[in-house]
Amino acid sequence: MKYNVGGIDRAARLILGVILLLVGLLAPVTMIWRIVLLVIAAIALITATVRFCPANAILGINTAENKYQK
């Protein structure tokens, strides 16, 4: 699989995912907002972990360095 998420983009997704996960679990929000926050957190964490984002692929965005390409 080709990677299209790397460097700062990956770190930002990890940080954003953790923050949204904590807010979704700990903040006093309605169930709808809790679900939305947790889904977005999961997407951010998964795309950072696997270093591939389908939205980036569709838009032609590649932030991965060449050493991550297979």
How far, in Å, CA of 57 to CA of 23, rounded? 29
- Encoding tokens for residue 28? 């006093």
Query: Mean pLDDT throughout 9-17?
Result: 94
Query: Mean pLDDT throughout 24-28?
Result: 93
Segment 30-69, tens digit of pLDDT: 999 999 999 999 999 999 999 899 888 888 888 887 655 5
- Please tell me what DSSP assigns to residue 60: T
Please, is 53 exposed, middle or buried when counting C-beta atoms within 10 Å of its C-beta (0-12, 13-18, 19+)? buried
Helix (H, G, I), strand (E, B) or coil at 24: helix
For CA atoms 43, 63, 61, 23, give the dihedral sign.
positive
